[in-house]
Structure 1
Amino acid sequence: MSDPEIVVSAPGKVILFGEHAVVYGRKAIAASLDLRTHLKIHLSPDSTSVTLELPDIHLSRTWQVADLAAARPTGDADLKNPSPPSEQYLAALHRLAGTDTDHTDTRSLALLAFLYMYTSIHSTARTCPAGRFHASSQLPPGAGLGSSAAYCTALAAGLLTMCDVITRHEGKNDGTGTTWSKENLEVINAWAFQGERLIHGNPSGIDNSVSTFGGAISFKSGEISALKSVAQLKILLVNTKVPRSTKVLVQGVKDRYNRLPAIIEPILNSLEEISGTCERVLQDLGGHPVEIQENTQEKNYHVLEELVDICQSLLNALGVGHPSLDQVSSVTAKHGLHSKLTGAGGGGCALVLLRPDTAPEVVDNVKTELKDCGFDVWETSIGATGVSQHSQPK
């Protein structure tokens, strides 16, 4: 068994370009967001209980170790290639959670994901460890920023490390935390994906992949590819707090496509070209030595700003804009900044690109004006480090 205290964190994600077009087989670009979910595990060898604390959703539950051990799946488990729970196993997890299959609220699904990973990962151990699991997040739930994936990724990393399934401190240390080897990250990602399946049913695997590996990825027709040497870009992330249904928005685009295919098809093609250009620019910004990068930054940031503006206009043409997003664009444009929706649209979140030479007072003024509109605003970055282990609690 590993250290008595383990602290890990995993980032959220944003879609940079390609929203909705990806549904039609076009390329999209997603990147890690340096707003993170932190998990602190404190093992208690003398205790007989396990406690999960999720203060962000006002949830705290405690189980007896013996009850969790009794729910573990039987047979030899392949801890490096997890499989989804059987119907019988899932029923046992629901009983432990005090839920049933009709419970699809955030709290119930968070419980199921924890119980599944805890009991599955400990399925080959003689005893289940007692202790306290405390998860807190900088990511708002339900905003399309990968909060559930960050939670599942942090759980997977913490539990696998706790049980010595993966080797700790084998990867690089960037000063904020230690990552694992690529092989061990793939194991974390496999478990996080299974947790996401419990929460979302049929996820793409994009969110947990970004949360695990960090940086940026391109995805097209189910294929996920990591971008190399991606620059970390500073952004403002804006949550309009306008609720929306991804399902309804996707259906709305489909209806428009069916009515006007000759018009919508070129829009989708243009959105894919934007994603491809973004991919090249991000790698160009991240792949040069500092002295060369300074000479290429201005040109590349100008291209990114153009891509942001064009993409936002095209997404409006698909019918997924919203007055709240127009308001974000209006405020930021007044200060010479460029913004677009991220995710499904219809409200939700927007990102604002910050050039390296953006004056701090400009950023402060924009943040103040956006908050005065009733929006939540974070100053953060994209392309952040993936799941990490920390020597000190966060």
Structure 2
Amino acid sequence: METKAPGVIKLFGEHAVVYGRQSMALAVSRYATCSSEIAGKNSLRLVLRDLDGAAFELKEDELCGMYAKYKESALSAYSKSAGIPTDFIPFVTIASRLMCEHGISALGKRVVVSSEIPVRSGMSSSASCFTAFACLLANGHQLSDSQLIDLARDGERVAHANAGAGSIDVSTAFYGGYVTFSSGSGARRERIASSPGLIIVNTGPKLSTAETVGRVARLRETNPQFADRVFEEINDCAIKGRAALEKGDLNIVGSYMFRNHELLRGLGVSNDRLDRVVSLSKASGALGAKLSGGGGGGIAVVLAKKDEAERLALTFIKNGFDAFIVHPSMTGASGSK
């Protein structure tokens, strides 16, 4: 059995979404994959292929013990007290909840997790891995979409020690296509069919999301009027950008992406290489470009006409960036036997 979940890019709304404004994400054609096979033992064996094939094995009592720790501990203390390698804790948490709350056991399975999504870059690699993992273990059982999303979000909550983590990332990886989110209305699938040319440009290592979120929080503490004004303008980009996508007007979509990047730059979450990608995009005829995710490095998303995407990708490569073309992934998490 194998399950895949797509990577996620942010088209609009980063950081402002933390303060109640709207954001918009899109699932794209880079995937996290989870596969399982019968292991012949009364335990769950996890293999993280992208960590040099690192493996960890737990028996039933150990899974139950992890569940008890998770329910009893604050997120900030849970990982420190878990007593297992950090990278495995989110997956073990999901497996333990499935077993203890839903009676769905992963015992006797060997599960391999791998991903072609750049790690810690702004493409939600961890959310995609946790979504694929939860869907794989729950396959064949009658769990609702909201239950599966909540289980996968537990991986994000644990990985980031943040109860609010994964709200839009996991929903987008699960559903596929375009998803909007605000704290007031939650995640919502958008019925948008637009399939533009998209180039992902990786600018290199990024700051942690916690660090850039903290940077914005400090700015808002010292200059609340400025920060709130920027948040409102970012919200305007998200609302009008979504409307333009619904109409298929990619020129307008791109203009709001450029504007959104400038606003994020004003919040102090861009850097020289991200700004360089946006400048190159403008000079090379792209429709739009902006950082994606927490910022401080990582990826930029470039919007283009489909017949221009390859030329633009080569332009970024010639200028020393890692760049590749992606397409909207409209189906979300999916499995095959």
Smaller-chain TM-score bracket: 0.7 to 0.9
Instruction: Decide which of 192, 203, 210 is 2:152's aligned counterpart.
Output: 192
* Contact 2:310–2:325 (8 Å) recurs in 1: no
CA–CA separation in structure 1 for the residues paired with 2:89 and 2:62:
12
Secondary structure of 2:110 counterpart: strand
Instruction: Decide which of 297, 308, 313 is 2:257's aligned counterpart.
Output: 308
Q: Name structure 2 gaps, 5 residues minimum.
A: none
Distance 1:263 1:139, change over 3 A: same
Distance 1:278 1:250, change over 3 A: same
**Shift of the alpha carbon at 1:301?**
1.0
**Shift of the alpha carbon at 1:126?**
10
The amino acid of 1:352's aligned partner reads: V
CA–CA separation in structure 1 for the residues paired with 2:79 and 2:9:
32
Residues 236-265 of structure 1: CA deviation (Å, up to 9, x unaligned): 111111331333323333343344444443
CA–CA separation in structure 2 for the residues paired with 1:214 and 1:278:
18
Where does residue 215 of structure 1 map in the other structure? 177
Where does residue 246 of structure 2 map in the other structure? 283
Where does residue 38 of structure 2 map in the other structure? 43
* Contact 2:43–2:60 (8 Å) recurs in 1: no
Distance 1:7 1:102, change over 3 A: same
Secondary structure of 1:385 counterpart: coil
CA–CA separation in structure 2 for the residues paired with 1:100 and 1:11:
26
Rg comparison, structure with higher value: 1
* Contact 1:49–1:62 (8 Å) recurs in 2: no
Greater mean deviation of Cα atoms: 114-123 or 376-385: 114-123
Instruction: Decide which of 250, 262, 272 is 1:323's aligned counterpart.
Output: 272
Where does residue 111 of structure 1 map in the other structure? 88
Where does residue 157 of structure 1 map in the other structure? 135
Where does residue 339 of structure 1 map in the other structure? 289
The amino acid of 1:245's aligned partner reads: S
Where does residue 73 of structure 1 map in the other structure? 64
CA–CA separation in structure 1 for the residues paired with 2:134 and 2:241:
31
2:228 corresponds to 1:265: yes
The alignment's C-alpha RMSD in Å is: 2.9
**Shift of the alpha carbon at 1:89?**
7.4
2:6 corresponds to 1:7: no
Where does residue 349 of structure 1 map in the other structure? 299
CA–CA separation in structure 2 for the residues paired with 1:250 and 1:50:
36
The amino acid of 2:302's aligned partner reads: V
CA–CA separation in structure 1 for the residues paired with 2:70 and 2:223:
47
Greater mean deviation of Cα atoms: 378-387 or 337-346: 378-387
| TM-score for the superposition, normalised by structure 2 | 0.85
Distance 1:346 1:127, change over 3 A: closer
Greater mean deviation of Cα atoms: 368-377 or 323-332: 368-377
CA–CA separation in structure 2 for the residues paired with 1:142 and 1:331:
23
**Shift of the alpha carbon at 1:347?**
1.6
CA–CA separation in structure 2 for the residues paired with 1:48 and 1:269:
54
2:80 corresponds to 1:101: yes
Distance 1:103 1:273, change over 3 A: same
* Contact 2:168–2:180 (8 Å) recurs in 1: no
CA–CA separation in structure 1 for the residues paired with 2:186 and 2:79:
33
Where does residue 292 of structure 1 map in the other structure? none
CA–CA separation in structure 1 for the residues paired with 2:15 and 2:299:
15
Residues 359-380 of structure 1: CA deviation (Å, up to 9, x unaligned): 3xxx334323323444322210
Instruction: Decide which of 40, 48, 57 is 2:51's aligned counterpart.
Output: 57
The amino acid of 2:210's aligned partner reads: K
**Shift of the alpha carbon at 1:101?**
0.8
**Shift of the alpha carbon at 1:140?**
1.7
Where does residue 161 of structure 2 map in the other structure? 201
CA–CA separation in structure 2 for the residues paired with 1:21 and 1:165:
37
Secondary structure of 1:42 counterpart: strand
Instruction: Decide which of 10, 14, 29 is 1:34's aligned counterpart.
Output: 29
Where does residue 240 of structure 1 map in the other structure? 203
CA–CA separation in structure 2 for the residues paired with 1:261 and 1:85:
41
Secondary structure of 1:29 counterpart: strand
CA–CA separation in structure 2 for the residues paired with 1:126 and 1:268:
43
CA–CA separation in structure 1 for the residues paired with 2:332 and 2:157:
20
* Contact 2:56–2:88 (8 Å) recurs in 1: no
**Shift of the alpha carbon at 1:276?**
0.6
**Shift of the alpha carbon at 1:85?**
3.1
Secondary structure of 1:34 counterpart: strand
* Contact 1:72–1:119 (8 Å) recurs in 2: yes
Residues 285-315 of structure 1: CA deviation (Å, up to 9, x unaligned): 3xxxxxxxxxxxxxx1111111112112222
**Shift of the alpha carbon at 1:323?**
0.9
Where does residue 387 of structure 1 map in the other structure? 333
Residues 183-215 of structure 1: CA deviation (Å, up to 9, x unaligned): 633332121122222222221522211111122
2:120 corresponds to 1:142: yes
CA–CA separation in structure 2 for the residues paired with 1:250 and 1:126:
36
